[in-house]
Amino acid sequence: MKVVIVGAGIGGLTLALFLHKAKISCEVFEAAPAIRPLGAGLNLLPHATTAFSELELLDRLLERGVETSEVHFYTHHGQFVDGEPRGRFAGYDVPQISIHRADLHEVLLSAARERLGDEAVRLGRVCRSVEQDPERVRVNFADPSGAALPSEEGSVVIACDGIHSVVRKQFHPDDSAPIDHGTTCFRGVTRWKPFLDGATMAYVGTYDTGKLVVYPIRNSIDAEGKQLINWVIEVKKPNDGVRDWNRQVSIEACIEPFVDWRFEWLDIASMLRATDEVLQYPMVDRNPLPFWTRGRVTLLGDAAHPMLPRGSNGAAQAILDARLLAELLATKEPLIALKEYEATRLPATADIVLTNRNRSPDEILRIVEERTGGQPFEQISDVISRGELDEWQSRYKRVAGFERERLPQ
Ligand SMILES: Cc1cc2nc3c(=O)[nH]c(=O)nc-3n(C[C@H](O)[C@H](O)[C@H](O)COP(=O)(O)OP(=O)(O)OC[C@H]3O[C@@H](n4cnc5c(N)ncnc54)[C@H](O)[C@@H]3O)c2cc1C
């Protein structure tokens, strides 16, 4: 069996590594002519790091990233609402890791090249369409200028070609454009002194007050012990239709609600101003699809289930797709494997897509700000009970599949 993988993003490379582990031959075809260190930070929750532990990549990821110790929630006054330990600090067998997407991508790409060979990942190959008959499937390619390239045949094709997937479009020509939910996201990475314990992820504020997520993604980047700090701002403002992961804007485009945010645990206003490069991000998702698989072709990761980047599950769910698909292809006839993969992963990820729209973990801050009318509180227990706080966080872990009891030990 030969698997053709379209797209060498997080999902495509993870799939290649799991297929290699299962001794299934595969090749990866990526549209970009060169791999560049793009993006900002992301968080790998324990379901994702369990998968990377099976691929023996945890040490490499920990060398690059930061092992997250806790998650905290603060109001826009900087008042502590809730917090909990994460990863090994919460008794999981595996760490939670905050890492630059480029570092994660580089770890996956170098592992894929080492294990599968230098030729296993082919760059500058833009998938245009797929064609299949009962025996095999063919992918048609062009180069980045649009000139046709030889097509590739395989037993199955897995489309890991991201939110603008051409294979998804071919299967679902009437699918709407990515859906804008009326917010815009800005991201950046800043060289800054460690805050709190140097390993905490903090959610602060709401759309009405200014909403920010901040966490370190690289340790000791200079002689003063600074870290690379990742931040994400979400503001209520429709996207302007540009859906480019690499679009640079000025900090003035997003800093206004944060100019007075100087908390004892972090001077957010100064940290934001010290950022070299601010990226405006595509804060969009798509509705869950009725199907992903047609014969010998299926979708994986953002091609299948693009979700709003809240709750740290975009990359994680692509990683979980990859692990299950490789396991099924190793044990079942390909057509059955692809169908079983869809039957398990489509409903599970559809739940997360919908939950991320209005019940993501940080929405607890909206509830608190509503109850306090946006004013500082004396004691958080006057505003919300311990039980309600715990239930909110447990619900998201349940939907996203990273409750401690459910992960393999
Ligand atoms: C440049 C970039 C930067 C990103 N930065 C962040 C970030 O900072 N934080 C974050 O949370 N998420 C980021 N994401 C999104 C995140 O990587 C995904 O949401 C998640 O990891 C799911 O992975 P995926 O493999 O499904 O999709 P992606 O990681 O988006 O990978 C899709 C891959 O397919 C390739 N591709 C697209 N079309 C074709 C085609 N026609 N033929 C062949 N290949 C094709 C793309 O070039 C890309 O390499 C970024 C994505 C990209 C592409």
Q: What is the pTM of this model?
A: 0.93
Give the CATH number, domain containing residue 322. 3.50.50.60
Query: Per-residue pLDDT tens for 339-365?
Result: 999 999 999 999 999 988 877 778 889
Whether 391 is covered by a domain: the verdict is no
Q: Is the dihedral of CA 244, 250, 251, 254 positive or negative?
A: negative
d(CA 130, CA 298): 11
236 lies in some domain: no
Please, what's the b/e burial string for 125-134 (b: 16 or more CB within 10 A of its CB; e: otherwise)? bbbeebebee
Number of C-beta neighbours around residue 87 at 10 A: 21
Q: Which residue minimizes the CA distance to atom 51 of ligand 1?
A: 245
Q: How far apart are CA 360 and CA 21, in angstroms?
A: 34
85 occurs within a structural domain: no
pLDDT in tens, 321-339: 999 999 999 999 999 999 9
Distances (CA, A) of 333 to 156, 280, 299, 337, 338: 11, 43, 18, 6, 9
- Asked if residues 272 and 251 have their Cβ atoms less than 8 Å apart, the reply is yes
Residue nearest to atom 21 of ligand 1 (CA): 315
Is 90 a domain residue? no
Which of 184, 188, 337 minimizes the C-alpha distance to 248? 188
Query: Do the domain assignments include residue 220?
Result: no
Its domain, for residue 305, covers 2-40+102-178+287-358
CB 189 within 8 A of CB 199: no
| pLDDT tens per residue, range 199-258 | 999 999 998 888 999 999 999 999 999 999 999 998 887 777 666 777 899 999 999 999
Distance, CA 140 to ligand 1 centroid (Å)?
20
User: What is the number of other CB atoms lying within 10 angstroms of the CB of residue 63?
Assistant: 10
- Partnered with residue 374 across adjacent β-strands are none
Number of domains the chain is built from: 1
129 within a domain of the structure (yes/no): yes
Whole-number mean pLDDT of the chain? Answer: 93
pLDDT, one tens digit per residue, over 48-107 is 999 999 999 999 999 999 999 999 999 999 999 999 999 999 999 999 999 999 999 999
Which residues have CB under 6 Å of ligand 1? 6-12, 29-32, 38-40, 42, 101, 126-127, 160-162, 166, 245-246, 301-303, 309, 314-315, 318
Spatial separation of the C-alpha atoms in residues 263 and 75, rounded to whole Å: 11
Q: Does residue 272 lie in a domain region? A: no
Q: 406 pLDDT exceeds 90?
A: no
Average pLDDT over residues 153-179: 94
